[in-house]
């Protein structure tokens, strides 16, 4: 493809995928509602917001529980779902008569799975919802409402708002993806791969952070508000800010490196992909350029080994530890730390070079819910004390989609406390590497009965990139 053709994504709205998805989620929701001792649940998409003292606001983003049933293209503010075990789920779709904004059509392709009613005013929609609820139960305290607390006008007096007995079970179940969700995430990965390929080309031609950002948007066919999260496009020392949020309009005179963490969103499901590049040559000291280039190659092997270690029944906390053990090897063999790898690991020195967790669950949310939840009733497993940023502590199981994203950064604020009191740090090399910022490599993997499906690598292959680490 030369970049002007449209890429055709994998078919997703097929009768088989939709049937299986709605059968699965309906089963989960019905069972959850029954187990939590409710008669039904009303899921509210949410309300459009305005900025303070302003007449416009952020792009509307629906409640993720709603998005599991209704893709974002149709997830109109004020719409809601009425889900009642044994009854067809009803979508109350809000379609105002509006000439300021275009109004989406109802999702008629889902009419085999949902009963769709359309309303042109919020008052009518609320009235219908209330009547519907009254027909389905005589016990308003057995009605659960899932949505933002601000939706006061719909909320029945005795309805239970976001009851934890229900939310915990739903969050827990969301980790295992249906085939439709997996297909959406494969497409989100293809969008991400297209964006990353264009970003890499732009960088190799000397593009600025802003140029790279725009190249990513264009190739992945997304505008900013459609991204699953704000692009992280960091050149040189900016890569040491884990969630760097700006885009410089000018390429630095000494261009050393690029870290780009950016993904695609397809039917509301995310990909979350990071790649790091080094310039073929830079004005930085030859020694530092050679060291960073070698570190980058080593980090790619490091990430490969971690991806290959993911397996059902495995412990992500152990993988987090393995990440630090391997990082200790890399830092010592590259003479960044002048002690043994065992000492570096045992004294936690690697933690100053990688303060984030190895990864997290992925799905409707980039940091998807339930990563630290070990039972459906909501019991949590906190991360180990020395890895407080680890978002994923529950056992790895089949059909989860998770990220594997080891990093190695030169972050002055974390390194500085060691400067005058630790003999193991090679400050000459560390100071020379700070202008390169850091390295992160991130893939998204689905857990299979044995081993994994690497959604990210497969997407790069699908678009014709054969290098395992484009
Ligand atoms: N893009 C944020 C993360 O990788 O977790
Ligand atoms: Mn990321
Ligand atoms: Mn991530």
SS3 of the chain: the string is CCCCCCCCCCCCCCHHHHHHHHHHHHHHHHHHHHHCCCCEEEEECCCCCCCCCCCCCCCCCCCHHHHCCCCHHHCCCCCEEEECCCCCCEEEEECCCCCCCCCCCCCHHHCCCCEEEEECCHHHHHHHHHHHHHHHCCCHHHEEEECCCCCCCCCCCCCEECCHHHHHHHHHHCCECCHHHHHHHHHHHHHHHHHHHHHHHHHHCCCCHHHHHHHHHHHHCCCHHHCCCCCEEEEHHHHHCCCCCCCCCCCCCCCCEEEEEECCEECCEECCEEEEEECCCCCCCHHHHHHHHHHHHHHHHHHHHHHHCCCCCCCHHHHHHHHHHHHHHHHHHCCCECCCHHHHHHCCHHHHCCCCCCCCECCCCCCCCCCCECCCCCCECCCCCCCCCCCCCCCCCCCEEEEECCEEECCHHHHHHHCCCCCCECHHHHHHHHHHCEEECEEEEEECCCCEEEHHHHHHHHCCCCCCCC
> Which of 157, 156, 159, 95 is CA-nearest to residue 124?
95
Is 272 a pocket residue for ligand 1 (Cβ < 6 Å)?
yes
Residue 149 CB partners (closer than 8 Å, separation 6+): 161, 162
Residue 190 CB partners (closer than 8 Å, separation 6+): 7, 9, 10, 264, 459, 462, 463
CA distance 433 to 276: 15
Ligand 1 centroid – CA 113 distance (Å): 34
Ligand 2 centroid – CA 38 distance (Å): 38
Q: What residues in the chain have per-residue pLDDT under 50? A: 1-4
Atom 3, ligand 1: which residue's CA is nearest? Answer: 272
Ligand 1 centroid – CA 168 distance (Å): 23
Q: How many CB atoms lie within 10 A of CB 297?
A: 12
Is 211 a pocket residue for ligand 1 (Cβ < 6 Å)?
no
CA atoms lying within 13 Å on the CB side of residue 446? 21
CA distance 387 to 12: 38
Is 229 a pocket residue for ligand 1 (Cβ < 6 Å)?
yes
Q: Which atom of ligand 1 is nearest to the CA of 356?
A: 5
**299 and 439 Cβ atoms separated by less than 8 Å:** yes
Atom 4, ligand 1: which residue's CA is nearest? Answer: 272
Q: What is the pLDDT of residue 406?
A: 99
Q: Which atom of ligand 1 is nearest to the CA of 274?
A: 4
Ligand 2 centroid – CA 294 distance (Å): 23
What pairing do the DSSP bridges indicate for beta strands 160-161 and 265-266? unpaired
What pairing do the DSSP bridges indicate for beta strands 438-440 and 443-447? unpaired
Q: What is the pLDDT of residue 470?
A: 65
Ligand 2 centroid – CA 136 distance (Å): 44
**pTM surpassing 0.75?**
yes
Ligand nearest to the CA of 229: 1
Q: What is the pLDDT of residue 412?
A: 98
Ligand 3 centroid – CA 361 distance (Å): 8
Ligand nearest to the CA of 276: 2
**Among 216, 245, 390, 405, which residue has the most ligand 1 atoms within 8 Å of its CB, making it the best to mutate?**
405
Ligand nearest to the CA of 275: 2
Q: Which residues pair with 259 in a beta bridge?
A: 234, 276
CA distance 129 to 140: 13
**Among 188, 192, 229, 456, which residue has the most ligand 1 atoms within 8 Å of its CB, making it the best to mutate?**
229
Is 368 a pocket residue for ligand 1 (Cβ < 6 Å)?
no
> Which of 131, 168, 147 is CA-nearest to residue 41?
147
Ligand 2 centroid – CA 91 distance (Å): 33
CA atoms lying within 13 Å on the CB side of residue 21? 23
Alpha carbon 206 to its chain centroid, in Å, reads 29
Q: What is the pLDDT of residue 6?
A: 61
Q: Which atom of ligand 1 is nearest to the CA of 360?
A: 5
Ligand nearest to the CA of 274: 2
Is 443 a pocket residue for ligand 1 (Cβ < 6 Å)?
no
Q: What is the pLDDT of residue 373?
A: 98
Is 261 a pocket residue for ligand 1 (Cβ < 6 Å)?
yes
CA atoms lying within 13 Å on the CB side of residue 291? 26
Asked whether the CA dihedral 360, 407, 353, 366 is positive or negative, the reply is negative
CA distance 433 to 291: 8
Ligand nearest to the CA of 361: 3
Residue 142 CB partners (closer than 8 Å, separation 6+): 37, 38, 39, 40
């Amino acid at each position: 493809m030369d970049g002007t053709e449209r890429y055709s994504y994998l078919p997703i709205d097929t009768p088989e995928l939709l049937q299986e998805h709605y059968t699965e989620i309906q089963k989960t929701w019905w069972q959850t509602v029954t187990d939590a001792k409710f008669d039904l649940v009303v899921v509210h998409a949410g309300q459009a917001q305005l900025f303070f003292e302003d007449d416009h606001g952020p792009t509307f983003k629906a409640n993720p529980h709603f998005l599991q049933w209704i893709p974002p293209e149709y997830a109109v503010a004020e719409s809601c779902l009425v889900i009642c075990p044994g009854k067809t789920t009803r979508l109350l779709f809000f379609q105002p008569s509006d000439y300021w904004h275009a109004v989406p059509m109802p999702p008629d392709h889902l009419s085999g799975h949902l009963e769709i009613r359309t309303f042109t005013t919020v008052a009518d929609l609320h009235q219908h919802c209330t009547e519907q609820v009254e027909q389905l139960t005589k016990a308003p305290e057995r009605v659960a409402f899932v949505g933002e607390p601000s939706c006061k006008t719909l909320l029945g007096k005795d309805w239970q708002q976001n009851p934890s007995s229900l939310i915990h079970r739903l969050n827990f179940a969301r980790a295992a993806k249906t085939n439709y969700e997996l297909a959406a995430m494969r497409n989100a990965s293809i969008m991400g791969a297209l964006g990353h390929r264009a970003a890499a080309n732009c960088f190799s031609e000397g593009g600025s952070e802003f140029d790279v950002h725009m190249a990513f948007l264009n190739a992945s066919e997304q505008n900013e508000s459609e991204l699953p999260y704000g692009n992280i496009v960091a050149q040189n020392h900016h890569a040491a800010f884990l969630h760097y949020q700006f885009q410089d309009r000018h390429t630095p005179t000494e261009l050393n490196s690029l870290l780009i963490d950016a993904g695609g969103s397809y039917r509301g499901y995310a990909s979350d992909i990071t790649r790091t590049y080094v310039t073929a040559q830079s004005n930085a000291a030859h020694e530092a350029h050679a060291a960073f280039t070698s570190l980058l190659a080593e980090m790619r092997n490091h990430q490969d080994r971690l991806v290959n270690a993911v397996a059902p029944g495995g412990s992500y906390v152990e993988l987090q530890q393995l990440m630090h053990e391997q990082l200790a090897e890399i830092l010592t063999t590259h003479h960044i730390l002048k002690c043994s790898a065992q000492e570096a690991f045992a004294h936690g020195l690697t933690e100053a070079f990688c303060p984030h967790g190895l990864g997290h669950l992925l799905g409707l949310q980039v940091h998807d819910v339930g990563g630290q939840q070990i039972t459906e009733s909501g019991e949590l497993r906190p991360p180990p004390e020395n890895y407080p940023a680890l978002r994923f502590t529950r056992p790895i199981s089949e059909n989860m989609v998770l990220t594997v994203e080891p990093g190695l950064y030169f972050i002055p604020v974390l390194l500085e406390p060691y400067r005058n009191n630790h003999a193991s740090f090679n400050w000459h090399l560390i100071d020379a590497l700070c202008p390169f910022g850091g390295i992160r490599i991130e893939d998204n993997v689905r857990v299979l009965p044995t081993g994994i499906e690497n959604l990210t690598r497969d997407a790069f292959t699908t678009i014709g990139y054969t290098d395992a680490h484009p």
